[in-house]
């Protein structure tokens, strides 16, 4: 997993409208980049809805929220429409960006070993440098913790 102080790797992925979005598009702003396993699963839905509920607060401090999973663009469209998600969702079906940030890891579930996305969040500063790393976050508290951090409360 990438560390604090490292330059975040630039990338370009498609958003829920199929438009290409690059990390470098947001230089000059704080970026909250969160990786999640799958659209429409209970934990991922709670996490996304928490970011949506706090979206105006993130915008008020000039922070951009971006969620990335390996789901397809069409899956993101349905997910965003179903839960009124106002922030950017990016599709990484080959998990290249997920891997570049170190969020693609071995997982064990009921004795079965597989690889998948580990729910993790990065705060990237205005110059593209990682300033906070939160590996293995909890879906219910992640948005509030990041917002408190950005407001200097934590």
The answer to whether 49 is a known catalytic residue is: no
Phi, psi of 119 (to 5 degrees): -60, 110
Active-site residue identified among 8, 44, 50, 65: 44
Measured distance CA(65)–CA(105) in Å, rounded: 23
Planar angle of CA 37, 52, 108, nearest 5 degrees: 15
Measured distance CA(105)–CA(33) in Å, rounded: 17
Task: List, by residue number, the catalytic residues.
Answer: 44
């Amino acid at each position: 997993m990438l560390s604090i102080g490292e330059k975040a790797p630039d990338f370009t992925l498609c958003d829920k409208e199929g438009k290409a979005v690059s990390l470098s598009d947001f230089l000059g702003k704080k970026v909250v980049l969160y990786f999640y396993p799958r659209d429409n699963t209970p934990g991922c839905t709670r996490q996304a809805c928490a970011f949506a509920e706090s979206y105006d607060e993130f915008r008020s401090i000039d922070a951009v929220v971006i969620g990335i999973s390996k789901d397809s663009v069409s899956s993101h469209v349905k997910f965003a429409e179903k839960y009124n998600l106002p922030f950017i969702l990016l599709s990484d079906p080959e998990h290249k960006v997920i891997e570049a940030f170190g969020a693609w890891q071995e997982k064990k579930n009921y004795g079965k070993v597989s690889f998948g996305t580990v729910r993790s969040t990065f705060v990237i500063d205005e110059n593209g440098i990682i300033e906070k790393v939160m590996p293995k976050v909890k879906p219910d508290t992640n948005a509030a913790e990041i917002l408190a951090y950005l407001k200097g409360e934590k």
